[in-house]
Each structure stands twice: as structure tokens, then as C-alpha cells.
């Protein structure tokens, strides 16, 4: 795995100003029986994110860090797809778009479903970015959030677009490289290198959990 630029010396998280973003951990993308898997896409790398995403959620909640989950919804009668003169990505597989609204394909994967409940925040989206035409930015600003930890799928599309949009909105961005994936390890690494160079700090899940736990211990020691 590529080694990325480390965080500044003495860096620490502030739980009340931090949010974990869980991007599109849905059956259509992460389940073997989902749309991508059934259409021959290698989803093994995306499935490998389930355990580290769960680790991040549990560590964040224990430290009082909020978690916000995006749910991608496509609609079967979305007229914008048919207006493209260049075939959109949602029509490049035989069965049409993944994660159609109100279907099993759009539901959170079974392994994470027990965690997809209060205190989780749910953000419905219809395009790649978690910020585009959603309430996420408003929610984060209302909660006083200044740092986002990003996890989920898929790297080069919804995750990278969200990372870029978070940075452009002046959030500090921490990127959990092994809790993020796409169908291509090469594409993932290219995206992570770009993110580390321009948009945020790229760390492993273990390193991020270590930051979170340091915060917990420091808080407990000050009581």
C-alpha cells in the first residue's frame, strides 16, 4: 500500500467538531447478489470495506463522533438519463442503474444494517457527491462540524467526488483508505494519491481509530 503524507505533529481530533461519512454501503454495490455483482463487476474490494467501516462507526460512536450515511437512490423513470447524448454510467450495465429507490438493491448491506439506525444520520442523494442537492452541508454546519472522516464506496466516483466537495467547502478531510474501495485497486490507489496530495490526510482505519481512541483517553483523563 502506498505511504501517504502523515498528519502534522501534535494533531488531534475534536469529537464535537468531527463527523464520520459512510458513503453508499448498499447491496447494489457491496453484495454479491446486488446489481454490480450480478453484472460481472468485481465487488470483492468493496466487500472488504465492510469490516473497517464497521470498526470506524463503532469507534466514532464510542467517542461521541456523529456518523452520517449516504444512501444512493436512482429512479426507474429518471428522464435525465435518456436526455444524454453520451451514454451515462448508469446505463452501461445491462440491467440499468444500481440502487433503484425502494428496492433491496438500495438497502444497506446486512453486515452494517444493525448500525444503520439512531444515532446515525441518513442523507439521501441522487448523484455522486454527498453534498450535491442534499442536506449534508447544512447538517454539518448546524452541528459545528469542521472535520470529516470519509469511508465507503466507490473510490473514484461517489467517494472522491464527496472528498473534493468537502474540501471545497473548507472541511478538513481524513480519508480511510482501507475503508474505501472500487472495483479496481489501481484506480483506488490513483485516487488516494490525488486526495493525499491536494484534499486531505489519507490514513488506514487502524490509524484513524488510534486518533479517535487518543481523544477518548485524553477526555477521560481530564475528568
* Residue whose grid cell is 439521501: 124
pLDDT over 70 percentage in the chain = 87
State the Cα–Cα distance between residues 65 and 81, nearest whole angstrom: 37
Q: Quote the pTM value.
A: 0.91
State the Cα–Cα distance between residues 65 and 141, nearest whole angstrom: 14
pLDDT of residue 84: 59
* 102-122 pLDDT, tens digit each: 999 999 999 999 999 888 999
- The question of whether 30 is a catalytic residue gets the answer no
Q: Which residue ranges of the chain lie beneath pLDDT 50?
A: 1
Query: Which residues are bridge partners to 124 per DSSP?
Result: 71
- The question of whether 54 is a catalytic residue gets the answer no
CATH number of 15-222: 3.40.50.850
- The question of whether 158 is a catalytic residue gets the answer yes
State the Cα–Cα distance between residues 158 and 99, nearest whole angstrom: 13
pLDDT of residue 79: 65
User: Which residue in 30, 125, 165, 172 is the catalytic one?
Assistant: 125
Q: Where are the beta strands (DSSP E) in 101-146?
A: 121-125
pLDDT of residue 2: 62
State the Cα–Cα distance between residues 23 and 165, nearest whole angstrom: 14
User: Which residue in 158, 165, 172, 178 is the catalytic one?
Assistant: 158
Structural domain spans, the chain: 15-222
Strands 201-203 and 66-72: unpaired
Give the Cβ contact number of residue 127 at 10 Å. Answer: 15
User: Which residue in 24, 67, 178, 183 is the catalytic one?
Assistant: 24
Q: Residues 195-200: contacts with CB within 8 Å, 24+ apart? A: 195/160, 195/163, 196/4, 196/5, 197/5, 198/167, 199/163, 199/164, 199/166, 199/167, 199/173, 199/175, 200/150, 200/163, 200/166, 200/167, 200/172, 200/173, 200/174, 200/175
Amino acid at each position: 500500500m502506498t505511504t501517504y503524507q502523515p498528519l502534522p505533529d501534535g494533531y488531534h481530533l475534536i469529537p464535537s467538531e468531527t463527523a464520520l461519512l459512510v458513503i453508499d454501503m448498499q447491496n447494489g454495490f457491496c453484495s454479491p447478489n446486488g446489481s454490480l455483482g450480478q453484472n460481472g463487476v468485481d465487488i470483492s474490494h468493496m466487500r472488504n470495506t465492510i469490516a473497517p467501516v464497521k470498526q470506524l462507526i463503532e469507534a466514532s460512536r464510542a467517542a461521541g463522533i456523529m456518523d452520517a450515511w449516504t444512501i444512493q437512490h436512482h429512479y426507474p423513470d429518471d428522464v435525465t438519463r435518456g436526455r444524454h447524448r453520451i451514454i451515462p454510467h448508469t446505463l452501461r450495465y445491462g440491467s440499468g442503474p444500481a440502487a433503484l429507490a425502494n428496492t433491496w438493491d438500495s438497502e444497506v448491506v446486512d453486515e452494517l444494517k444493525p448500525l444503520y439506525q439512531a444515532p446515525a444520520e441518513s442523507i439521501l442523494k441522487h448523484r455522486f457527491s454527498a453534498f450535491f442537492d442534499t442536506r449534508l452541508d447544512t447538517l454539518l454546519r448546524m452541528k459545528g462540524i469542521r472535520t470529516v472522516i470519509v469511508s465507503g464506496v466507490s473510490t473514484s466516483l461517489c467517494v472522491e467526488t464527496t472528498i473534493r466537495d468537502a474540501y471545497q467547502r473548507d472541511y478538513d478531510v481524513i480519508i480511510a483508505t482501507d475503508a474505501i474501495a472500487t472495483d479496481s485497486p489501481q484506480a483506488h490507489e490513483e485516487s488516494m494519491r490525488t486526495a493525499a496530495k491536494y484534499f486531505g490526510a489519507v490514513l488506514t482505519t487502524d490509524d484513524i481509530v488510534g486518533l479517535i481512541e487518543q481523544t477518548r483517553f485524553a477526555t477521560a483523563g481530564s475528568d
